[in-house]
Structure 1
């Protein structure tokens, strides 16, 4: 019978095509004439599981009873075969498939999962991975198992915290960081995150910056620093991380490779929580002296940021380009609100991360600065008129916050579309840039729909714009979006008055030499 396994002697190709085979060997002539590749006549071994048990004989078996017996017959898996042995691998694979955690925690989170950074770090990582896996797959038994590991790890941590001044206590940094990730993700106890943040503050301040200068603690400190800065941004509260000893100390070892581009920008970002606190004081008290001092401090950090950008341009003159098609980026084809026909493509994931963080720092600094002083009150400064073939904004091309926010979102498109191809690289801020950009663009209908789709199209950021990950764009209300977009007529509305708008060229740090 043609097409039924076990009853036809034809070749596998004809069997699949449900045609009569001429059974010519070694290959079927019918397949060759039709242009198909004959797969031969060898049958694969067909393994089937049957349940064996005692059966009662019956004198008669109607068709109904036979059908019932067949439907009730289920394959019996031997009791010694179980997925328990693979549970750790499954849960960790799922945990590290989340791009936020895998890149933010690289490499210390991965090493913790392997048990290379101590028992407490391993147990904290087990708790984190089990709870995340159980929550996402609605498996209460696994989630309860994770909660038990979490409780055990917290008890052990609480016993060791009174001794944080002792040598070696700096190793508690990584377990506390993992427990903080757990509490901020599972949201079972709203006070748990506060407990872990307080533990981080205490540990860092007692042990001092140089205790975290060696790997793997330095990488963990870099991640920790970024988290504490975000908390400072949201609460608009100054942190000790802006102090010079904390900006230099963790990278002070002679064998240290020095700061990478991301951490150079984080040095500037560490000042922003203090700027926000001073800004609030100026608004509440009208202290003009503090206002002038604050403006000078912001200008200084903006100058450092723009100097970084000019140096970066010299090192990476072809860091980005645009393409006209989406075929290489099918994920972007799911976005119905894309305001651009072209895709911004970066030369590498690392460069995309760096330029996105740079733009975030610029948004913060300019947003606060323009709330304190009219852009028109800034004197025009001489600047280098440099043309660039890159689609990325140079410092002397920035005239609005909206420009910067749009560039962040275009880079984020590239990051979403290529993240699965990128090996784990430390990314200190994954959602902060697009969160800031979303706040700047939220009053622009054309862009706000696009930003929401960007959040929702990615598995790791879905629901973020609405606060689905515990944050959301609204928490980044750190500056007045009144100054988000420039006006084509060269005028800008500032606190109810119109001034002639002059781009803030005085803030543009000039390159030390001509880059051409």
Structure 2
């Protein structure tokens, strides 16, 4: 037994989480708030004197440096040491492995000035690793590991962690301080991410939407003073994208409060992010137009086209005024072995800009797909021109989404070289989560050629395998089931067989 100085008096749980313990008796408030069982505190004697036997043995078993006096290493202890004194390697816990997997695959870790996906999480997690945020990150990471390795046991453990995160979240939402914390909002958003990782059925997508609505309510509750740091703004921008996507899918009005929240965040945003606010306003109006078409049962192709094309004109006007920082470089590969859909690819300034361009393309895909579907179902001979216009735009936007795939999946080079079909194992692809929906929308179009559908399906499967993302697997399988449902190879054929005479 040796004196080792003055160690922390806190409970072992707080010390393990590397946070300050308030030492409240009989149980510290940190444990109570996080749903942990507080083990209590050691006696004064235990704090001052600790058993150093294991530490001494480890030091004795480490190879010593060459001594100056004899120029050789001392002999190592005999390998026939008693079992209780042998050194054993300690493997990281399942939770630590799951957390590392999620951070590696889902969090963009570029330079501080670059934006990507979930880049604010490491800092938030460091402040409170054992709270709700740490639990849901571990749950999502474990679900990803389970899917990547098809491990049923891990999948069960992931849902167990998810249940614990929900219980912790309920406690946080009842606390007037925690309910407004960045960690709480991030945890709610990640619960939606967990649903897309762990499952891919209709119920999971419904749960995803519910989590997005809950996060939106949390934004309202936090008020205008929530945007006190860059992490808060980044979370809001990510949430806004998810809200817009969710309401577009349901063809419903986007909540008006989203515009008010954007005005709260705008003062602290970077200057080159202001076009995203204008884009959000355009999405508000587009969602209102599509909701009107739905609720008023408007089915005349010329009327539908008139309403939607006016919004598309505004989108094109918005695109023409984008700042230079939004520009991207188009590259062509001269490698004959490069895949057809990767011979032309685009490189962007960062993942955030790349995802904003794909958001713009996705909105145009929805506009022209709506026009095409209405014309195919209700159109007359004089509406035939609408099909040709829609086909041209749909093909162009789908091609642009495909050209963004290499950048999202880790290819950052601006040189005209070939891109390997397989992503190296040591390369993380956090951009895959941002690419998934635009890529799927492009593959689902009737105007997308069969070969391109299959290529998109292969990319979605790569995302699913690498990130353990079950929704990406499901998307890939859906595209392969419908890969013959395309009339884009022969316009004469599709007008003759698909167009109602």
389, 407, 411: which one aligns with 2:404? 411
Match of 2:24 in 1: none
In the alignment, structure 1 residue 229 sits paired with structure 2 residue 241: no
Pairwise CA distance, 1:127: 2.9
In the alignment, structure 1 residue 128 sits paired with structure 2 residue 140: yes
87, 92, 105: which one aligns with 1:98? 105
Structure-to-structure mapping, 1:181-200, within 5 angstroms: 181-187=193-199, 194=206, 197-198=209-210, 200=212
User: 2:253–2:287: 8 Å Cα contact kept in structure 1?
Assistant: yes
Q: Deviations over 1:464-486 (max 9, x none)?
A: 8x9554555859xxxxx988678
Match of 2:442 in 1: 437
Pairwise CA distance, 1:94: 1.8
Pairwise CA distance, 1:125: 2.0
Match of 2:320 in 1: 310
Number of aligned residues: 398
Structure-to-structure mapping, 1:292-311, within 5 angstroms: 292=303, 295-311=305-321
208, 227, 235: which one aligns with 1:220? 235
User: 2:408–2:435: 8 Å Cα contact kept in structure 1?
Assistant: no
Distance 1:426 1:77 in 2: 47
Structure-to-structure mapping, 1:302-451, within 5 angstroms: 302-312=312-322, 319-325=329-335, 338-339=339-340, 342-346=343-347, 348-350=349-351, 352-372=354-374, 399-416=392-409, 418=411, 429-440=434-445, 444-451=449-456
Structure-to-structure mapping, 1:43-58, within 5 angstroms: 52=80
Match of 2:86 in 1: 78
Match of 1:257 in 2: 270
Pairwise CA distance, 1:413: 3.3
Pairwise CA distance, 1:408: 1.5
How has the CA–CA distance of structure 1 residues 220 and 113 changed in structure 2, closer, same or farther, with 3 Å as cutoff? same
Q: SS of the counterpart of 2:270?
A: coil
Pairwise CA distance, 1:49: 10
User: 2:192–2:208: 8 Å Cα contact kept in structure 1?
Assistant: yes
Distance 2:491 2:185 in 1: 48
Match of 1:177 in 2: 189
Pairwise CA distance, 1:434: 0.8
Which region of structure 1 is more displaced relative to structure 2, 341-350 or 419-428? 419-428
Distance 2:200 2:460 in 1: 24
In the alignment, structure 1 residue 238 sits paired with structure 2 residue 252: yes
Distance 1:424 1:156 in 2: 30
Stretches of structure 1 that go unaligned for 5 or more consecutive residues are 1-43, 55-74, 327-332, 381-395, 476-480, 498-516
Distance 2:149 2:184 in 1: 30
User: 1:223–1:428: 8 Å Cα contact kept in structure 2?
Assistant: no
How has the CA–CA distance of structure 1 residues 299 and 412 changed in structure 2, closer, same or farther, with 3 Å as cutoff? same
Q: TM-score, normalised by structure 1?
A: 0.59
Q: Deviations over 1:16-38 (max 9, x none)?
A: xxxxxxxxxxxxxxxxxxxxxxx
Distance 2:202 2:444 in 1: 25
Q: In angstroms, what is the RMSD of aligned CA positions?
A: 5.2
Stretches of structure 2 that go unaligned for 5 or more consecutive residues are 1-71, 110-114, 413-423, 480-484
